[in-house]
Structure formats: structure tokens, C-alpha cells
Amino acid sequence: MGVKELASYDIDRDYYYNLENGPRLVVEKVKGLRNEPVEIFGKRVDFPLGVPAGLLLNGRWVRAYNHLGYPVVVYKTVRTCEYPCHPHPNCLFVKTDMLDPYDLPDVLVAPEGYEPERPERVTITNSFGMPSLPPEKWQEDIDRVRQELLPGSLFIGSGVGTFSGTSWELKRDFARVAAMLKEAGVDAVEVNFSCPNVKNGEGSIYTDADFSAEILEAVRKEIEDTPLIVKVGFLMGKKLTEFVARCAKYLDGIAGINSLQARVVREDGSPALGEGRDRSGVCGWAIGKCAQVFVQQLAEIRDGIKADFVIFGGGGVTDAEGFLKLKSLGADVVMVCTGAMFNPLLSQEIRGDGEDI
């Protein structure tokens, strides 16, 4: 069986097919997993392992991965309005070595017909554009699935504002979507400041520390004491320090990294995803070192200012070694997306043998 056939998300089908029919799984529940209880936002969580918003398209996906042994689950990023997905294809395999965080390439290649030999070496480019069902549908879905999760779970809802002309309107829309998520009954709200596949600025907010702080202040006022997490892309050094310095007082958690943006081409130099979609997100094994640098520096900054926000570290974790590495560098919870997509039973490898869940 090839790597594509192992995946829970069928990359040969479009987003809407996977939304309605997925996930594609060999088993529906895993037994005999080790618990390592941690307290997050006042809740007991059985193990510091989760799946971020990118893979959990709706409540069916959330429940499936939670029952496979991922206690921390994030409902895919939603909006205050219905929003379409980018056209198919949305995922392609990228052929690359491990990326150097201090010398990132601008161009990567997704060869026609290429497929990695092993799931733990998968790197993909993804391009969805943060699609969303109408609020009434995703709120109902969240309310339903939260009651089906295993004890010892943490359910996070991810939201993004939709740009409609001004930064003030975008800020207010972030606050509105956060309030809707709280109303739907999630344990914590994540605001998504990082998506490399949108063109209106919602996906690069994390690069502007001042505007990020303005949005987070508005969201905090709206959701009051509900735990607030921000998802960011790859920052390090002075830029990461500035972001934390401006934003930490509004936050309970920082999640990162999402993916890296690059120009992804075919071997002839043409855009791999089609005209008009030259740049897209790159995630999976190749961004592992970038994630490690990010988590290590973020933990050092947190310690330096004596803050207490939770670090949801992720990026490039495709095996147990990657999980342990991010934990050792300061991640409180490790999030796996591409790794869990192509190996849904990665939870078993990471958590090992223990009591039945």
C-alpha cells in the first residue's frame, strides 16, 4: 500500500468530498494507550498530544481522531460567513530535504507523480484558503461533537476574521467569530493568524505584532475568561520576541508553527497548484527543524518574562522521536497534522502501551 492510500485525507479528491465522506481510517478506536495526565486551562488532559485545525474538517473528523488517541483536538478554522475552498488540487507531495530555518528556500518542487516511500518522510504543500460552512452549521456541529469526545480531552475551536475592506472590520470580525465559538461550547478559542494560502492579509497577521495585539485585545474583551490561543507561523529572534512582548498579556496559549510559505512548482517551473496559486503552505517532515527552533526560542522567551501561557508546539512531527524532541524543547502539548494524516495511528507509536482508553 502506497503512502497516499495510508492517509485519512484522500488527496486525489477535493476538499468537499473529504468533508462529507472522510476520514478514511483503517480502525476507529485504539486500545492500550499510555496516559500522561497534564492540566491545561484547569482541565485534566490524558496526554499532551493533539491534532491541529488543519486536518479536522468537521465534527466527524474531530471525533475520529480523538478516539484514535489524540486528546487535544482543534475544530478546523471557521468564519462568521460561508467561505469557499480553493479548487482541487489542495495537497501535493513536495520532494525536498529537511529545511534549514536559517536559510529557507523560496522555491520547492512538487514533481508530477512523486510519492514518498514512507509516511514519516512526507512533506506536502497544501492550499485550502480557510474555507468555512455557514455559522449555524458549524455551531451545531461543534455542539454535537463536543458531547462525543472521550473523558480527558480538550476541545479547541479555531476561528479567523474575514477581511472586508478595513483593518477595523477585520478586528471586529475576529471578535465575532471568537464569540460564536464560545457560544458553541468549545473549551478554548484559537484565533488563526497564520495561513499562507489567503490573499487578503488574514493569514499573515502574526508578522505585525501591534495589529496582532489589537485583535487579541478585542477578542479577549469579547470572550472574557474563556482560554484564548493564537496560532502563528514561523517567527524567530527579534520578531518572535516582539510578538510575545506585545501579545502575551491577552493570551493563555500560543500555537505554532502552522506551515511555511514557498513558491511550489513542477519540474518545468510551472505553478504546481495551477495559475494564480504560485505560493502555498509547506508542511510535514521537512519543516521539523524550523518548528524546533521556534518552540525552543518561544520557551526561552516565556521563561525570560516569567509568563505562563501554554505552548502548543507543532510542525514536522511524523514519529515518536519528533514528539519527544519538541517536548524536550519546551512544548507543553505537541500537535501533529501531516504526521497524523498519513499515519493516523501515530498516537499509538507516541503513547505506547498502557491502559485501554
- Indicate whether 357 belongs to any domain: no
Tell me whether strands 38-40 and 43-45 are parallel, antiparallel or unpaired: antiparallel
Q: Is residue 356 part of a domain?
A: no
> How far is residue 223 from each of residues 177, 189, 205, measured CA to CA in Å?
10, 9, 20
What pLDDT score does 352 carry? Answer: 86
The mean of the pLDDT values for the chain is: 94
Instruction: Identify the CA nearest to 262 among candidates 252, 273, 253.
Output: 273
Mean pLDDT of 132-137: 98
Where residue 64 falls (left for φ over 0; alpha for ψ -120 to 50; beta otherwise) is alpha
Dmax (CA) of the chain: 53
pLDDT over threshold 60, residue 198: no
Q: Is residue 250 included in any domain, yes or no? A: yes
| 357 pLDDT tier (thresholds 50, 70, 90) | very low
The model's pLDDT over 152-182, given as tens digits with 9 standing for 90+, comes to 999 999 999 999 889 999 999 999 999 999 9
Average pLDDT over residues 229-235: 97
In a domain? residue 16: yes
Tens of pLDDT, residues 35-50: 999 999 999 999 999 9
Indicate the pLDDT class of residue 353, thresholds 50, 70 and 90: low
pLDDT at res. 356: 44
Helix 288-305 vs helix 238-247: crossing angle, to nearest 10:
50
138 occurs within a structural domain:
yes
| Structural domain total, the chain | 1
* Contact assessment for residue 261 and residue 282, using Cβ atoms and an 8 Å cutoff: yes
Q: Residues 98-110: what's their mean pLDDT? A: 97
Is 97 domain-assigned?
yes
In a domain, 135, yes or no: yes
State pTM to two decimals: 0.96
Indicate the pLDDT class of residue 203, thresholds 50, 70 and 90: low
Calculate the CA dihedral of residues 116, 119, 123, 128 and round it to 10 degrees: 110
Region 257-261: mean pLDDT is 92
Indicate the length of the chain as a whole number. 357
Residue 221 inside a domain? The answer is: yes
Q: Helix, strand, coil proportions of the chain in percent (round to 5)?
A: 35, 20, 45
Question: Rounded distance, CA 171 to CA 161, Å?
Answer: 7
**Residues 325-337: what's their mean pLDDT?**
98
The CATH number of the domain holding residue 13 is: 3.20.20.70
* Residue 54: domain span: 3-351
